[in-house]
Chain A
Amino acid sequence: MSTSVLSGVAPAPAAARIRPRKRLRNKRAIAILILPFGLLFAAFYLVPVIYAVIQSLQVIRREGTFGVPHLEFGGLSQYFLVFQDGEFWSSILRVLAFGVVQVPIMLGLALLFALLLDSPLVKGKKFFRLAFFAPYAVPGVIAAIMWGYLYSPSLSPFSFVTSQVNLLDGGTVLWAIANVVTWVYVGYNMLIIYSALLAIPGELYEAARLDGASQMRIAWSIKIPLVMPAIVLTAVFSVIGTLQLITEPQVFKQFTSSITSTFTPNLLVYTTAAVPNLNLAAAFSVVLAIATFILSFAVLRLTQRRAAL
């Protein structure tokens, strides 16, 4: 049995040597360990996903104008409606524009702060770490309510700005939301990157230090390539978050009329479901989920290739 300890990575040959009775015992243990999570995962992740897909393939038909409506299989007809829906595409374009601007700014700042915290340039690291991370303790709803007041032309402490430019106007409200999201998440992403930096053994840049390399150079040539996996992780989560944007715009509807009920893809899904047109809403959700998958993988691929160079 002691051979199994030699390789934690691929214990396949060792496992094959386990006696049948032990196998059976392990089987029971595996089931006990996995099933509680597995069943809940199936009930609250897999079933809803399958349910949404089935729903998206159905249409409501009625006999004549006043006939009794009934559900029947409609093939991809809901999806044709999705792809013809101008509101849907403009909401997708809106969050893509948001992501292209907001995600790099947020992650750039997070990386900058993490590198500064990791360098000898900054004093009072503990304080800055806490201060920058504090907004993450503010839930999205609360953050949006706070900034809603901070943006308001009459109530804001920064009225010298907000009385000149209406930040909640149709043209700027998207970026007002981008600021809220950035405010909440920079510190969180900073901490992910910073903890990756801390995990780098100091010897790795000891030699560079002795050669007289500057902090800038060490950061650029050693630290950033090594924390690339952490940056990729934050990027993927940020992309997912961007496509799913709903809390902040939903709250901002209370402060401004420039947020329409189709402002982001998720708001559109919510509005469509409330009509209620559940089949079309399901089709929107499925397309959105697939788009999220594709985009997450694209980010993963793109950044990994960059890291390999």
Chain B
Amino acid sequence: MTTSTSTLKRARGSRGAPRESRLSRSAAMVIMGAFTLYFLLPIWWLLVSSTKTLGNFNSTFSLWFTPSSLTDIGNNVVKLFTYNEGVFPRWMLNSIVYATVAGGLGTILAAMCGYALSKYQFRGRELIFNTVLGGVLVPATALALPLFLIFSQVQLTNTFWAVFLPSLVSPFGVYLSRIYAASSVPDEIIEAARIDGSGEIRTFFTVAVRLMSPALVTIFLFQFVSIWNNFFLPLVMLRDQTLFPVTLGLYTWNSQVSQIPDIRTLVIVGALVSIVPLLVAFLSLQRFWRNGLGAGGLK
């Protein structure tokens, strides 16, 4: 990347044509087109494979449908939702609860902390902020094992709380909130609210939260995704299948493929069904990703 840009720059000279040539336009489009295939083909494969019986999955061309695809996907989905007393919808529900409830609560807590760190002057402020920032660098996987041991001493392993409680904490959310509160909540407004007699906490929930809302959506999305994708913590903590998030559930199914070949179809259809909610949420909230990420990256 580096070398090709610099050689091209030299070849063109510093006073190149102001209008881009047809050549560079088509080169750019070819690059984008090729990588579109790279990014979308696996998802397309997943979609097509979900419409096949196990026999067709093994024998037909895997990037196109079969004549019976329409009925087969219906059967597959029914089988997916009823297999093993409906454990799959249970997993989906678990993931949704872990991700939305813990993500939502965690976002509010992070915003409160980040706002306080940005708007109040007090002793130990930088110490707290730097400790939290250090927390951003501590990988979740390094915490999972000690957490397991701690939770086992209070008999909380293999419970809902074992996954839910640690998911509430988002140090990166505090970092983003502090930056965003500093730039988007003017001190004048807080001061005006004070003069109007509003308490500090009420000012936060009525005035600051509204001004910080784009950042809050971003933090929520971040946390939602990291909880939804979390695999290691549930793997360490949970034994009871009915508590599994969908990632861990599909992982255990995939490990049974050699004993129960039929389950492969369920893994494929389950994978497709499990990414649909996330795809929809992402694509519809994409503008928040852009705004919030810009705040984190630039300032």
A, B from the same assembly: yes
Known: A187-B39, A192-B297, A247-B232. A30 touches B279 (CB 8 A): no
Known: A131-B39, A146-B45, A214-B17. A243 touches B290 (CB 8 A): no
Q: Can you list 25 pairs linking A and B with CB atoms under 8 Å apart?
A: A5-B187, A5-B188, A11-B187, A32-B201, A33-B116, A40-B165, A44-B168, A55-B146, A112-B1, A112-B31, A121-B24, A133-B289, A134-B279, A146-B46, A157-B62, A195-B294, A199-B298, A212-B15, A212-B18, A220-B9, A230-B297, A240-B137, A254-B255, A285-B142, A293-B137
Tell me if B169 and A45 are in contact (CB < 8 A).
yes
A interface residues with partner B (beta carbon < 8 Å) = 1-2, 4-5, 8, 11-12, 15, 25-30, 32-34, 36-38, 40-41, 43-49, 51-52, 55, 108-109, 111-113, 116, 119-123, 128-143, 145-150, 154-157, 183, 186-187, 191-196, 198-199, 209, 211-217, 219-220, 227, 229-230, 233-234, 236, 240, 243-244, 246-247, 250-251, 254, 266, 269-270, 273, 278, 281-282, 285, 288-289, 292-293, 296
Q: What's the minimum C-beta distance from B206 to chain A, rounded to whole angstroms?
A: 14
Residue of B nearest to A127 (CB): B36
Tell me if A196 and B200 are in contact (CB < 8 A).
no
Main secondary structure of the interface of A (DSSP, over half): helix
Residue of A nearest to B248 (CB): A141
Q: Which residues of B contact A219 (CB under 8 A)?
A: 5
Tell me if B147 and A38 are in contact (CB < 8 A).
no
**What mask results when residues 1 to 22 of chain B are scored 1 for a CB within 8 Å of chain A, else 0?**
1100110110010111110100
Interface status of B143 (Cβ within 8 A of chain A): yes
Residue in A116, A192, A250, A270 whose CB lies within 8 Å of B293: A192
CA distance A30 to B115 in the complex (A): 9
CA distance A52 to B112 in the complex (A): 29
Tell me if B31 and A195 are in contact (CB < 8 A).
no
Interface status of B207 (Cβ within 8 A of chain A): no
Residue in A41, A134, A209 whose CB lies within 8 Å of B39: A134
CA distance A266 to B141 in the complex (A): 8
Q: Which residues of A contact B116 (CB under 8 A)?
A: 29-30, 33-34
CA distance A134 to B40 in the complex (A): 8
Tell me if A198 and B200 are in contact (CB < 8 A).
no
CA distance A251 to B267 in the complex (A): 13
Q: Which residues of B contact A33 (CB under 8 A)?
A: 112-113, 115-116, 200-201, 204
In the complex, which of the residues A145, A209, A233 has the most CB atoms of chain B within 10 Å of its own CB atom? Answer: A145
